[in-house]
Structure 1
């Protein structure tokens, strides 16, 4: 449909130029026209009936015989047209009825006015006016009927036999009347059609508004996204169906009047209003809301502010992100928490530590960092299995979590290492008191499958800003303090001191120098003979590491032992020594020098080397040396370094290949007799600390006697280390010790002197 406001009207008649538009106008007004016409016809019949009754007073006169027939015709045509309009038809039908009534009525009335009654002149003027103004015909028929009626009225009123002197004036008056009435009809037509167009436009606007409202209501109700309309004061205007489903019931059932009753945190709504006030709309405001079952849901609000009818409204769309938040939480926890203990992992610890230090710097308070290492974890794993170890870690994590306050952090860095950030314990005294609680709490035993398990912990402490200010430096400080706690005997806490870093730097420098020394072949074996105390014969040697330092001269391991705390460096030097010893044995054999068995010391760190025996045997095989010419010496700490199965496997591989195994420094470590039975040990070496006092200290003498008796009972060779005096040698010989080693017989010597040493005459016998 075209725009009603642009429909052109005739400039003369005021009707629509478009016939279809004019027909639509007439058709829409047809019921009103019929009602109007019926009223007009009935009124005409009624008035003319009254006039007919009045005309009976002229009975017997010539006027009576003119008036009565004319009145009867007018009444008859009016009634006939009335009944004709009872049948509903179109405008054209109605117009034909109107024209029939107009022309017949005009002729009858023209006949009446020829009698020149008192009302004749009034009727002459009145009837054309009625045709123009009252009868709703089209403009052309209104003009035709009006002009025709006027002519008929003039002819009837001015019959030839009764011409009057004022004929011209009456004609001019009729002309003026018709012109005026034509203008009135044209203007009326225009106004009625403009009014109709306005009504159509208003109706269309209302229809469109109703359609839009219906569409909006339907969309509002059926859109799957929860929508809520509220006033700024919080009063609820409307929910859609999705919102009812989201909240679990309608607001009437829920019995709520204000949106504030839905917010889990009412302060969030103030923040939401502030965003809308500032920006007018938002699409990503996150909050929590309470639903009908009492549960809390995470939602994302997208809202806009509207002004309607002088009131402010807010329409908000709710997106339930509870599951998404839960999934994000799961992903975040998986990425930031240790799966075994559910404690923060290293990455989250690092983030929180940096945040804690930044806040401490801003507020001017201290932060304590505790690095915790569980001393007994390895033995628990070995003795009871990994399930017990996991349970132990979980229990220790639970206890640590229970000790800290809100705002502090407990994290697991990996293995048996934990870390605690104390933000609430801001003084040195509070930190020390807390550490004592930690040590006591971790020592408290718990039961696992009938076994009592207790933990011991070594703890390193670093404090911001007393020790350092950077996270990496503080962590290094705590690590140095932890190392010191372990070196002091474990199960204790040590606070960082600057000299620890100095020692560590010296150790690191020394480690780099040793690496360079290995590369430059400055680490060499020195050989100390093992002697048969009875015959004085040399039965073999022990290879001892010496560092031929370019500026400090010959250095023994005691001067650079701290460097071997680095496992990788210990392995590097150990492999280098094996290779050098194998080369020396090959050279001696090539010169016809029988050196017996040469013992090589293996460190605990080397037992962490996967494939140790295979690698060792491969080195001597490439050197062309048979395994029977070598012996390995291990200390009792080897049994604590790896699982019993691993150590047993490595030692058995050595034993099966022909390499002899000696347990060095026996009596100074943690080994028990079960280790002598469990592992393929061939020789026992009595530590020199017992030999030193054997002549004057009854306890040392008792230990030496016990070890000699043990060796005989187990059919193992016993070798006494550190023999330096004739008295020590005599004591050992009297107690049945056959093999000894010490400076009394020879100091450790370079490989180049071994041949000459062995070529000498038989050594003296004490």
Structure 2
């Protein structure tokens, strides 16, 4: 079958109770497990840290360049040979290694977590397991004598072997039947730390720690067909070090015999960067605790497990009070030390199965599993309060820290994630209003009090959107290398913001809560369109204008239709859509489908900070143009070498992905120089200009000399 077709995709659908996720398998390898550095993370008690691996092998017919195929193998444990605790089962049978066929059902560690592998033709929207039940793989050669006898393999001679010494990647030639290494260049010998004489006494199995079933299957393909292939693998050096590599196998004629020419590319550094990015995208950089995104994933799976087991699950949300007054007395290193001491204090009172997540420096959430009654939750909270009754000392500064708790219990309050978290927040607010160092369980009695306090706040935003009392201002984005204006970043303000503690993200969230997402987007784009027309009349041509939108908005077809209408109707070009992934857990598949529609328009996409896991998921289908480092990350980086190191990793990764980098919140010359040295050229902040109305921007544009840009 000819599979040189971009519409053919391999997919893996994971499921545990009500938790479901589907992944397109477009990379060469995937790791599956509980550890957050895995490609596919499953936070479930039956799943090992590194539970299973997927390996993709790409085959290319040397006789027909249009005949290309891919297959996937699943391996128990990681690719280094470490097996999982509870194993993998495919179609009811346990395997250490198995070639996947479309329609295979995989159980990971037991019946609670399962997956289905399939192949889909996106054009016809058909699955191989349904449309072609007798042909469930792309590679299915039945006739071993179908090779073209007139096809001549490339010939490798001694002169070629000498030329291989000039190539800066590993090259070796091996015998297909015995899998013995016949010759290798110096680069490969140095990579695996063997001399040329030593390596000629080795076989592929001595060097490659990949499952032998996969290697032996490959050799049968090479022996019987004129096929080349590529796959990721792991080779072991003489001193037992493991090397991640990308290998390409090409059948050749060597010494009058069909052999394999193998090229080897070292992937160790790339794998390290990928793991760092995956970890940083799901963990807080100061405490190494799970961040909000990872917490939502963990909570989804915990809820699914408890639905199956019909057990209770507790959510504790806690807040340390008067935080700003405390940290004002500390430098940044001491502040981080205090945060880690508090985290350690909380952890000391939790069990191994409990999950602690950092929401902000002074707010945390705990998932308590298998809650039979409230006693265990009460004991945890009372132990934390008892410990905090003693002063905490950081470098001669002593503090008495107060804390409040709000508790929501699954199956008593609600089984929806957003409701559980919202109820815990309501209970926390009620606890805070009663007294410090207290805790409150959510109940129907406190919801009415909370609603009265917050209704006025929501009504203000409701009225502001209806009466168009919101204001849009613009922050110039400056390219400090070229000393030119890169674009404008729009920002939403409430007209009487000085009377309220409300920011742009609050407005976006409240609009979503009250069902006004479409109306807010209408207002934004109408106002931006009017402002652009005003600037054009004043002979000001703006390269690009960006505006923020919650990821959850992109699951709303009304919002998508609004974006399409305004962009077309008002002839808006070079808009940058800044996507914010907040506490909600929107369906990525819906977002990707809707973004696929939007990118046909003159619109660019921007992600923030450490959202590399979202970037990886989206970039398989949708092109992301910009990566923005937010003001809060910039502020935390001041005199913080650890934070700067993490930001440097983000910037380097963004460069590898060819993304435009933008730093916001640049207030000082020192910050500008720091981030310029790290490689960021596009910046916005008070150093360059405050937020400007559309009218004031005209004056800024005409009077501000670009030669005076700091």
TM-score by length of 1: 0.37
Higher Cα Rg: structure 1 or 2? 1
TM-score by length of 2: 0.39
Q: Greater relative contact order (Cα 8 A, min sep 6): structure 1 or 2?
A: 2
Counting strand residues as a fraction of each chain, which structure ranks higher? 2
Counting helix residues as a fraction of each chain, which structure ranks higher? 1
